[in-house]
Chains A and B, each alone.
Chain A
Amino acid sequence: MKALPTLPPDDRELLDRFLDGDLSEKEFSAFQDRMRDSPLLRDHYFAAVHMDTLLRKAASHVDSPAPSLSPTKVPRKTIPLAVLGPALGFTILLFAALITWGLLPPPIAELTSAEKTRWLSEEPSSSLYRGQELHLAAGQLELQFRSGAVTRLFGPAHLTLVSPNSAFLHYGQAYTVAEDPRAHGFTIRTHSGDFVDQGTAFLTTAQLDGFSQMHVSSGAVDAVIDGFGTQRLGVGSGVGIEPGDVPVLIHVEPGKETSDFDFPTLPPPSSTDYASTFSCEAQLVSGSEENAQIAPHDQSGPPSLLFDGRAQTFKDEPGESLYLQNGSDGSILIDLGQEIPISHIHTYSWHLSIVNPGMKRRAVQRYTLWGCGEERETTLPTTTHPRGWRRIARVDTDTFFQVRQEEDRPAQQVCALSSNGPSLGTYRFLLFQVIPTPMPDGIAPHHTFFGEIDVFRAP
């Protein structure tokens, strides 16, 4: 944007009236001629459309309601009937008649609200039909299905409307509230599993690579996953599916925050798993320097505590936890001593700070787990360059538990990884690439208090 010399009055008049959409055909022709001939008019024209763009964008932000996740307050778009003209009324009647006569399928859902939406597909009308695709680039919207279920879709997302009581989430996040009895059994399908309401509210997340996960906010949900059967999940629980040759089920639960490590369905730490029974070794390795062993945090316990058959005895017990130095980038490397088929892996954490009451920053479990066979690959793997490692699962319990504030995060957590086949794979080395919890400015990221890692051998 730059200051320009003043425009001659005739050109100014033409430009202003063009921008107002107020030129006759003859005047428009004259305007085009002047635009060809006058670089100054063109510069003013560019400046005007530049300002027009900025103002339109500013206007689009006016009165936009703040995003809300409240599942109970679903605003219904109401159209004042008094302003509907006869033509629109006729159109509605015609559609109603066509639907009644069976010439048009009835809509299966309604778009009841939209906030700051940008579309990659054609912007839909308020009535939505079977098979309709919603490609949302940004923003969020709410859909009310004919069954009564309400789904809030968060962009970017791609959702296909399947029936009055189901939808397919290709990627993105969808929060569903199915309080209406007619909505019992409402299903969000994904590439890797179906999540079936049993009187509940739940959040489904799907990624393009097939990874999907679901968290239950209230009631219960059945996760129906090929090869895994049906698993009923209660409040606070989450499940994820890591796709691949061997799909991996990621099941996360909050504990009751006692030294018994009591969870709704998953077991407490085991002293009979393979890692606790045989001479397995754990060490911390650098995330940036190949083959470099690193020390844990000064107050951390030794790596061997991961296999002692028990986790922490208190909510803030550094010496009974394994954790990295603040701000460091590293991994937990486990050597099982020999290649074994692994049926499942459980990881346990517990942290509720006694120094900073309410803080549970070291409770979250965030890692990518890799495995390799008898020959340990010394080069660290990445998503695009696995370098001989095989990715087993990506875990982020904060996303399962929908942690937006510290209080949302359970202080005690278990994450269970299992497969739909006989084993997760045959591995000797397991590499947990751990990711620390971001901290406020000026404080180095903090790492998780891992109390136990159980590795179970497949029969």
Chain B
Amino acid sequence: METDTSHPSESDFAALFVQHETAFRAYARSLLPTWDAVDEVIQTASLVMWRKLDQVDLPDGFLPWGKVVVRFEAQKYCRTKARDGHVFDPDLLDLLATAQDEEAEPDWTREQAALDHCLSQVSDATRQLVFAPYQGHGFLTELAEASGRTRNSLYKQIRRIRGKLEQCVLEQLAQSPQPPSHPS
């Protein structure tokens, strides 16, 4: 079969970006205060990556390079939002970014599969509650009003469920050890 080593196309980039999108989002989430901020930074970072794709060795260099782009865009975001409060100071942001750069990249696909399994073990109502914070602004408040409870009490319940899910994911991962890496 022939091998095509020509310059990556937009569709190649799209495929690469989607492959590593979870890693980029997790990294951005660790540096930014809200998911709205993450969405904004990832949107900008993806365009920067697209325009500067010729600066990186593909495919292996894409993830570390992309994270540098995300970090830079997160720093820019925090600088512009500094006056609004609730964004990390530059020194703390560097500390958080550097701490993660030293860690091995998680196997997001495997962890997602473990979480999906754990979520399949809980009731529909529990799943709905734990997903509520991601269903848009105001959804949790509506849920609280509909159930006659306060937002705070729902948050506390969500934290407990998250704790149990986290424990379940850890057990799942322990039961199915990571396959050894393929010899090069």
Q: Does B33 contact A (CB under 8 A)?
A: yes
Q: How far is the CB of A158 from chain B (nearest CB, A)?
A: 6
Would you call A57 and B112 a contact (CB within 8 A)?
A: yes
Please indicate the chain B residues that have their CB under 8 angstroms from the CB of A329 in the complex. 1
Q: Does B157 contact A (CB under 8 A)?
A: no
A208 to B116, CA, bound (A): 36
A155 to B14, CA, bound (A): 9
Instruction: Report B1-13 CB contacts with A as 1/0, cut-off 8 Å.
Output: 1111110011101
Instruction: Report B140-184 CB contacts with A as 1/0, cut-off 8 Å.
Output: 000000000000000100010010011001100100000000000
Which of A18, A47, A156, A381 has the most CB atoms of chain B within a 10 A radius of its CB? A156
Instruction: Report A377-389 CB contacts with B as 1/0, cut-off 8 Å.
Output: 0000111100000
SS class, residues of chain B in contact with chain A:
helix
Would you call B30 and A36 a contact (CB within 8 A)?
A: no
Q: How far is the CB of B72 from chain A (nearest CB, A)?
A: 19
Q: How many residues of A contact B (CB 8 A)?
A: 54
Q: How far is the CB of B128 from chain A (nearest CB, A)?
A: 9
**Given A1-B173, A137-B17, A383-B4, does the pair A53, B131 have CB atoms closer than 8 Å?**
no
Q: Does B59 contact A (CB under 8 A)?
A: no
**Given A1-B173, A42-B99, does the pair A58, B5 have CB atoms closer than 8 Å?**
no
Q: Does A444 contact B (CB under 8 A)?
A: no
Q: How far is the CB of A405 from chain B (nearest CB, A)?
A: 25
Q: Which residue of B14, B46, B111, B155 contacts A54 across the interface (Cβ within 8 Å)? A: B111
Instruction: Report A207-240 CB contacts with B as 1/0, cut-off 8 Å.
Output: 0110000000000000000000000000000000
Q: Does A25 contact B (CB under 8 A)?
A: yes
Would you call B6 and A118 a contact (CB within 8 A)?
A: no
Q: How far is the CB of A79 from chain B (nearest CB, A)?
A: 14
Q: Does B96 contact A (CB under 8 A)?
A: yes
Please indicate the chain A residues that have their CB under 8 angstroms from the CB of B106 in the complex. 1, 50
Instruction: Report A46-80 CB contacts with B as 1/0, cut-off 8 Å.
Output: 11011111111111101000000000000000000
Would you call A122 and B43 a contact (CB within 8 A)?
A: yes
Would you call B131 and A58 a contact (CB within 8 A)?
A: yes
Chain A interface (Cβ within 8 Å of chain B)? 1-3, 16, 18, 20-23, 25, 28, 32, 35-36, 42, 45-47, 49-60, 62, 118-123, 135, 137-138, 155-156, 158, 171-172, 208-209, 287, 329, 381-384, 433
Of the A-B pairs whose beta carbons lie under 8 Å apart in the complex, a sample of 27, sorted by A's number, is A1-B106, A1-B170, A18-B33, A28-B86, A42-B99, A45-B30, A45-B96, A50-B106, A51-B169, A53-B29, A54-B111, A54-B169, A55-B130, A55-B131, A55-B134, A56-B25, A56-B134, A58-B116, A120-B13, A120-B14, A120-B17, A135-B10, A171-B11, A208-B10, A287-B1, A382-B4, A384-B6
CB-based closest 6 A-B pairs? A382-B2, A156-B14, A59-B134, A59-B131, A53-B26, A137-B14
